[in-house]
Amino acid sequence: MSAIESLSWQVPYPPSLDFGQQLTREQLFNSMQSTMARHHGGPVWLFAYGSLIWRPECHSVERQRARVHGYHRGLYLWSHEHRGTPECPGLVFGLDRGGSCSGFAYRLEESNLDESLMALWQREMPYPAYRPHWLTCRLNDGSKVQALGFVLERHLPCYAGDLPDGLLSQILASAKGRYGSTRDYVEQTLNALRSHQMPDRNLEARFRRCHNLREV
């Protein structure tokens, strides 16, 4: 048995995935309206921790480095379309409970807020894999704002959790979907974080370990 197989044999791959039906535009609108009803008023901020850092969806009038506590970034969500296929699922980032996470906070433009939010919901919520949530976000200037973030729903089949390094190494080497590979997606996020002087040390270390496993 290879090193990769011995580390990952306990986790079935590919997993049996059932994302359910895609949300309709009406369901997306209702989710957006329900989320905005919980907003405390004032400017609407968005917390970006993954691809939204290097490929933002919404028009913003301000951007600051930011951190949230109580959640961390992880490759915990299966992707059967964007970064993988049903036969070879990939992974994308999500916010999971515990720790803290650095990223960017975007203050969204008020003049086209509904349009921007709907575009965001269509991108992040085609399936109900995330829970839109208002996060306490500390900005680089020391102030705190209420920022919209997309938190993982642990009880759903699309939640992958913290996979063994061996299996993650296999996925990084092979999973590729409509928008490219899981590996490219991770590298782009790591590069973006590093270029803005807020590297994710844990993720960097794990990425190196998985690369080294592929060399075994």
Residues recognised as catalytic: 124
Burial of 199 (0-12, 13-18, 19+ CB in 10 A): middle
Whole-Å CA distances, 10 to 4, 5, 163, 168, 191: 11, 9, 10, 13, 32
Tokens of 136: 């306490």
Cα 198 from Cα 102, distance rounded (Å): 7
Cβ(107)–Cβ(60) under 8 Å?
yes
Question: Which 8-state DSSP code applies to residue 134?
Answer: E
